[in-house]
Amino acid sequence: MSSSEAVLDHVNTHSRPSDLRITDMRVAEITGAPFRTAILKIYTNQGLVGLGEVRDGASATYALMLKSRLLGENPCNIDRLFRRIKQFGGHGRQGGGVSAIEIALWDLAGKAYGVPIYQMLGGKFRDKVRCYCDTDADRPSGTAMGLRLKERMDMGFTFLKMDLGLMQIADVPGAVVAPAGSLEGYRIHPQPGLSKTMEERRAKNAVYDVHNVRHPFSGLHFTDKGIDLLEQYIHEVREVIGYEVPLAIDHVGHISLQNGIRLARRIEKYVPAWLEDVIPWQYTDQYRQLQEATTVPICTGEDIYLKEGFEPLLRSGGLSVIHPDILTSGGILETKKIGDMAQDHGVAMAIHMAESPIAAMAAAHIAVATENFMALEFHTVEVPWWDDIVTGLPKPLLDRGFITVPDKPGLGIDDTVDEVLRAHLQDGVTDIWQPTDHWDNEYSWDRTWS
């Protein structure tokens, strides 16, 4: 044994990090925690397995198609491998593959060296991660919603979010002006799964197309009656929950900048923590107009891939809060960089998250290791088996509205619980961790310049 190997024997390593190699990549495609997601495992030659997760609603293919570019590599070279694959990610769900892999590489590096991810990022700014409870708009009145949010406060949540917008008033006569028939498409979402006929495929694609019309072109407008109803809703919510707790607002609907401004001004007196995704994030100048027209903090970011996607918005002054999803943004290191960049512009960072404890822990490591952090989304209060997906974490992971990051290597998770995953397979999926050999030699001459 060489002297350097002898030294390694006294270091708290679970492996020989320099000789660690990626040997395989597999997925478990599940649903209900709370949405459709693919949990990712990256395997190595030393028995270490890294965990990642492909974003809610995204295809596992976005990760698996990158397997051939990672086999045989040392997963500890996180940034180098990230830069190799980052051209294969995109905004929204298309960032899901690159981000899932980046997280699994951090988990492997942490396990290989015996260090928590937050420590590799530079250490802690805080011990506990404040979570905000997201609550979908499934209550008919503001009072009923307020009572539901009050229950969340009683559970310990110190930060809340709810929907307020088009879908709450779409069925009220005279509340929304819409081109005839156009509202129908918003009532249903594109569904995954098998299509039996060409007609089914066409119907599914038509729904997809409706949801991909950008807001300025939807032709939807709130009437004064519609705005009155939305104001009444948030008024009733505040009557129940009071003003001590921050309340963010999401899902305004595919309305124009001008309607967004009208709504924002009407709800200023209810002091929202932020108003989210009022218009597509691509319209930098419209964001600036929106923020300049209201005192409500304007927020976007869950569909933006990479730091450079956030930069124009931050420079424009169009945002008060950014809201990256680390499963779209490019993963752990990229999101820390995004948070630091936002801090330089005086813009706060909250983090979007709607997946399993794997995504939650990846976000939590960033949240403790980035100075610019306000709150992390929590979307699974109603999913009793959410904590059972993995072993090795405190149970429940969310304790009185906060997540505590353990001092364990990598993400801090020991393993997945396969019986739980098997009980929640997506339609058409027959089992978990199936061989992915057909991706081993995927190749094309991808260079974005010549």
Least distance to Mg ion from the beta carbon of 134, Å?
A: 8
Least distance to Mg ion from the beta carbon of 161, Å?
A: 8
C-alpha distances (whole Å) from 361 to each of 104, 240, 353, 382 are 12, 32, 10, 19
107 lies in the site for Mg ion, by CB under 5 A: no
One residue of 24, 163, 250, 325 binding Mg ion per CB under 5 A? 250
Stretch that binds Mg ion, among 159-167, 250-258, 332-340, 401-409 (CB under 5 A): 250-258
* Cβ proximity to Mg ion, 235 vs 251, nearer residue: 251
* Cβ proximity to Mg ion, 53 vs 56, nearer residue: 56
* Cβ proximity to Mg ion, 106 vs 281, nearer residue: 281
- Total H helices, total E strands in the chain: 16, 17
- Size of the residue set binding Mg ion (CB under 5 A): 1
* Cβ proximity to Mg ion, 250 vs 334, nearer residue: 250
Contact indicator for 242, 228 with CB cutoff of 8 Å: no
* Cβ proximity to Mg ion, 111 vs 254, nearer residue: 254
Burial class (CB in 10 A: 0-12, 13-18, 19+), 121: middle
* Cβ proximity to Mg ion, 338 vs 393, nearer residue: 338
Least distance to Mg ion from the beta carbon of 52, Å?
A: 22
Least distance to Mg ion from the beta carbon of 274, Å?
A: 10
Least distance to Mg ion from the beta carbon of 141, Å?
A: 22
- Copy the structure tokens of residue 37: 């997601």
Strand intervals (E) in 274-401? 275-276, 298-300, 321-322, 348-349, 376-378, 390-391, 398-399
In the complex, which residue's CB is closest to Mg ion? 250
* Cβ proximity to Mg ion, 107 vs 250, nearer residue: 250
Q: How far apart are CA 331 and CA 358, in angstroms?
A: 12
Least distance to Mg ion from the beta carbon of 277, Å?
A: 5
* Cβ proximity to Mg ion, 15 vs 218, nearer residue: 218
Least distance to Mg ion from the beta carbon of 299, Å?
A: 9
* Cβ proximity to Mg ion, 24 vs 250, nearer residue: 250
Question: By rule CB under 5 A, what string of x and - marks binding of each residue 371-410 to Mg ion?
Answer: ----------------------------------------
Q: How far apart are CA 136 and CA 379, in angstroms?
A: 9
- Copy the structure tokens of residue 18: 């320099």
Stretch that binds Mg ion, among 48-56, 60-68, 150-158, 245-253 (CB under 5 A): 245-253
Tell which residue, 398, 336, 392, 420, has the closest CA to residue 134. 398
Packing angle of the helix pair 142-154, 224-241 (nearest 10 deg)? 30
Least distance to Mg ion from the beta carbon of 442, Å?
A: 33
DSSP string, 354-375: -S-HHHHHHHHHHHHH-SS---
Q: How far apart are CA 368 and CA 122, in angstroms?
A: 10
Packing angle of the helix pair 257-266, 224-241 (nearest 10 deg)? 40
- Copy the structure tokens of residue 424: 């929640």
* Cβ proximity to Mg ion, 134 vs 334, nearer residue: 134
Stretch that binds Mg ion, among 40-48, 247-255, 291-299, 409-417 (CB under 5 A): 247-255
Q: How far apart are CA 226 and CA 166, in angstroms?
A: 9
The torsion defined by the Cα of 153, 155, 158 and 159, in degrees rounded to 10, comes to -70
Least distance to Mg ion from the beta carbon of 132, Å?
A: 11
Least distance to Mg ion from the beta carbon of 350, Å?
A: 10
Q: Are strands 275-276 and 298-300 parallel, antiparallel or unpaired?
A: parallel
Stretch that binds Mg ion, among 101-109, 110-118, 248-256, 341-349 (CB under 5 A): 248-256
Q: Give the footprint of Mg ion on this chain (CB under 5 A).
A: 250
